[in-house]
Amino acid sequence: MKTIIPILLLAILSCKSSKFEKKLPFKIKKATFQHWVGGQPGVKGIKIAFELQNLEKGIVFHHIYFKNTKEKLYLRNATKNTLLTANINTANRENIDVIIHRDASKEYGNKLPKVKSDFLFELKENECVISYLINEKEKFYKITLIEEKHAFFP
């Protein structure tokens, strides 16, 4: 019994770490993220970009998982390299009317905050996971991003 528990624990942990691909069928030349702020109050986001090389045909990119958010990935072709991008909207422009009162009955009608429940991974601040399909099979790859200087748009 004493040996079964450590073996079972090791099996569970190894399964969790094996869901990430070790090798990619393409090369990531550069992987960055950049916080940006727009000219209107509350308009802001995070731009994520991957410079890809040696991209084989038949690879379909799906999502990026970053900072507890899941967003769609977009493939753009440049002259030399292929660019894979995503944009996370972190704007807080919603008009939220919340009543906070000692008497809880006065708070009736407050809306619950929106919570994204489809986040699959525990990641560090600068880590992300990209998902892609090869031969109709979904694959996941974890990568560390380099943070670029903040961008300000008028």
Say which CATH number the domain at 138 has. Answer: 2.60.40
**Domain for residue 88, yes or no?**
yes
**Domain for residue 11, yes or no?**
no
The pLDDT profile of the chain, 154 residues, written as one tens digit per residue, is 555 544 444 444 444 445 899 999 999 999 999 999 988 877 899 999 999 988 888 899 999 999 888 999 999 875 566 899 999 988 865 555 667 778 888 878 777 666 555 567 889 999 999 999 998 899 999 999 999 999 988 7
Look at the block and give the residue holding tokens 């528990």. 5
Q: What is the dihedral of CA 24, 140, 37, 147, to 10 degrees?
A: -50
**Domain for residue 10, yes or no?**
no
Contact between residue 26 and residue 54 where contact means Cβ atoms under 8 Å apart:
yes
Contact between residue 57 and residue 134 where contact means Cβ atoms under 8 Å apart:
no
Cross-strand partners of 41: none
CA pair distance 74, 49, nearest whole angstrom: 10
Angle at 90 (CA atoms; ends 108, 95), nearest 5 degrees:
35
The burial of 50, by beta-carbon neighbours within 10 Å (0-12 exposed, 13-18 middle, 19 or more buried), is given as: buried
- Tell me the residue range of the domain where 75 lies: 23-152
Say what the pTM is: 0.71
Q: How far is CA 33 from the centre of its chain?
A: 11
The total of structural domains in the chain comes to 1
Q: Which amino acid is at 71?
A: E
Model pLDDT, residue 35: 94
**Domain for residue 12, yes or no?**
no
**Domain for residue 64, yes or no?**
yes
Look at the block and give the residue holding tokens 């079964």. 4
**Domain for residue 75, yes or no?**
yes
